[in-house]
Structure 1
Amino acid sequence: MTRRGRVRAVLLAALALAAGGCSPRRMAEGLLLGSHFVRTPGLPYGAEARQRLDVYRPRTVRRGAPVVVFLYGGRWQSGSADEYRLLGDAMTRRGWIAVVADYRLYPAVRFPAWVQDAALAVRWARDNAARFGGDPENVVVVGHSAGAHTAALLALDERWLREAGVPAGAVRGFAALAGPVDTVWTDPDVQALMGPPAGWPATYPATHVDGTEPPLLLLHGADDETVSPRSSLRLAARIQERGGCARAIVYRGVGHVKIIVAAAVPRISSAPVLDDLAAFVRDPRGTACPATPAALNR
């Protein structure tokens, strides 16, 4: 196979990865995973079976490396940390400690169980960062899709991290990829897992905007047919109107799956998703604060 053909095959495999194809995902991992990192899987952050997380660290860790906690998507009903080895590979290439957390899912639980789990995972990451060479004062939370919704709630409704024992201001920033962050629930399965309608306002990140939240980066694909990019654009504008720090970036030609593929396998994507995340990890406030435009198209 030519190099071009190999790259195309890997791209197709990576897309299948994000869509849940096990065998193609393993093929992509076999072709692309490096030897520069160490993965420690299945560490408990709570007593429940799904309260487990995987830690990725570079083999050579620079002192005080940033710690990135990643929350995957799956419509609050599916997903596994094991599916994100390529993302761990990509993040450790940037010198980060990556923490990929599993969490409880519907129908075993309903809202807010997964938000509570994510907050506990953040607490664990902060408490254990130094064990893996990370800086407990340099933690950023990143989520995709349903995980992006959770990340946005952690950023905007301070009670979840507070109840988990995370001090105010302990997380430097939050990034949401393709998240339903400013919307209303219309699909019956999502309505069911979010609980009684009277409680839905609390599940909407936009409900909690007051201008005092930590920096929030909202990344979205212009071609996303699962979650409209208007969701991210609206929330960024709403936060900036209140004097808070938020920025939305919309990528041309990118859909709901391709945005996480671009983050996990940047060498086969033209969308600079990982570069934009890296800029945010370096300087959340400088990247997202009101001096910057509320939205940017790439």
Structure 2
Amino acid sequence: MTFNLPPQMPLPFHAASLYAAQALAASTGPWPGVKEYRDQTFGAQSWESFDVFAPEDAGEGLDVLIFLHGGGWTNGYKEWSGFMAPGVTAQSCLFVTPNYRLAPAHRYPVFIADAVTAIVEIRARIAQYGGNPDRVFLSGHSAGGHLASQIALRPDLCEKYGLEKDALKGCLPISAILDLRSDNAPAGSLEARVYEMVLQDPSQDWEASPLAWLENLHMPMDFTWGAQDSERVRESNEAARAFLEGQHNEGQHNTVHFHTEDTNHFGTHLSLVDSCHRWYRGLETMRKETA
């Protein structure tokens, strides 16, 4: 199929544009054994839509994985992630990719609210596709990993936007940006874009960082990032590992896993075109541990 996507601002560098092209090309489908329900709407606004991918022989009461696309909060489409459908549905699990509004037109925390709203609406409707609304897992790549992590660690925000604390069974962020703070970010840098385009106010940089809320962890999490990932991603995920492993040593036993892949920021996502990738085993393990 050919995607007819609304225009967005140019991506900031060539590697991002190449990633977007590769992700779209890999997400066109169809795939053997996968049923597609594209562009399902739950409201009148253009962003209020999601795609559902189900195993062809789907019964009822299946686990659900909701995946939030990346794009630095300023770019991205749900269509960037469809290529994961074969790997997820092979586990007799539904795969759902929603949209959310983007910066700079919509700044933090609007896209958090949008993502939570999408999750609420998906849970309300997922049974018609064979899914179990009480067995929902959350993931995302890059900025989408940031949103997923923030949602997992901010039950107060979730409840504010209508999602109860225990609605999600686990979270699996990929190359998530966990710390938005940056001192003296050079003009035009990706770090500067956070202050120039993403946050409503620079003072929100720590509040908007999942790293600030790790003490709220109340569900299993599986963090993945690349050995050649961006410095900000590597350092913030390592900081999360140090904090959460310290908590575990102190007797707090939330199930948390950490994985470093031998690839870069975009490879951590694009490598999931391989349905046998390690990441899918991590999803399967989390589902079994929470059953």
TM norm structure 2: 0.82
d(CA) in 2 for partners of 1:70 and 1:284? 19
Mapping for residues 69-148 of structure 1, pairs under 5 Å: 69-148=66-145
Partner amino acid, structure 1, of 2:104 = P
Residues 1-32 of structure 1 deviation map (CA, whole Å, 9 limit, x = unaligned): xxxxxxxxxxxxxx99971126x843x457x7
Counterpart residue number, 1:291: none
Asked whether the 8 Å contact 2:206–2:212 carries over to 1, the reply is: yes
d(CA) in 1 for partners of 2:16 and 2:130? 33
Measured after TM superposition, the shift of residue 83 of structure 1 is: 2.7
d(CA) in 1 for partners of 2:144 and 2:286? 18
Identical aligned pairs, as a percentage? 22
Mapping for residues 1-298 of structure 1, pairs under 5 Å: 19-21=19-21, 25-26=24-25, 28=26, 33-182=30-179, 184-185=181-182, 186=185, 187-192=191-196, 193-225=198-230, 227-242=232-247, 243=252, 245=254, 246-251=256-261, 253-266=262-275, 272-283=278-289
Residues 211/118 of structure 1: CA separation in 2 closer, same or farther (3 Å cut) = closer
d(CA) in 1 for partners of 2:45 and 2:177? 27
Give the aligned CA root-mean-square deviation in angstroms. 2.4
Partner amino acid, structure 1, of 2:125 = N
Residues 91-125 of structure 1 deviation map (CA, whole Å, 9 limit, x = unaligned): 11221111101110012210011111110111122
How many pairs align?
264
Asked whether the 8 Å contact 2:179–2:206 carries over to 1, the reply is: no
Asked whether the 8 Å contact 1:229–1:250 carries over to 2, the reply is: no
Residues 42-90 of structure 1 deviation map (CA, whole Å, 9 limit, x = unaligned): 2223442112111111111143211000001000011111232211232
d(CA) in 2 for partners of 1:59 and 1:256? 32
Q: Helix, strand or coil for the counterpart of 1:209?
A: helix
Asked whether the 8 Å contact 1:33–1:86 carries over to 2, the reply is: no
d(CA) in 1 for partners of 2:105 and 2:21? 24
Q: Helix, strand or coil for the counterpart of 1:68?
A: strand
d(CA) in 1 for partners of 2:122 and 2:97? 10
Partner amino acid, structure 1, of 2:134 = E
d(CA) in 1 for partners of 2:216 and 2:112? 21
d(CA) in 1 for partners of 2:243 and 2:43? 35
Q: Helix, strand or coil for the counterpart of 2:178?
A: coil
Measured after TM superposition, the shift of residue 34 of structure 1 is: 1.7
Unaligned runs of 5+ in 2: 1-14, 186-190
Asked whether the 8 Å contact 2:180–2:194 carries over to 1, the reply is: no
Asked whether the 8 Å contact 2:69–2:80 carries over to 1, the reply is: no
Of 144-153 and 258-267, deviating more is 258-267
d(CA) in 1 for partners of 2:95 and 2:215? 30
d(CA) in 1 for partners of 2:27 and 2:41? 25
d(CA) in 2 for partners of 1:146 and 1:29? 19
Residues 209/16 of structure 1: CA separation in 2 closer, same or farther (3 Å cut) = closer
Residues 165-222 of structure 1 deviation map (CA, whole Å, 9 limit, x = unaligned): 2222111011110011145244221112122122222101121222552222111111
d(CA) in 1 for partners of 2:216 and 2:73? 28
d(CA) in 2 for partners of 1:261 and 1:42? 22
TM norm structure 1: 0.80
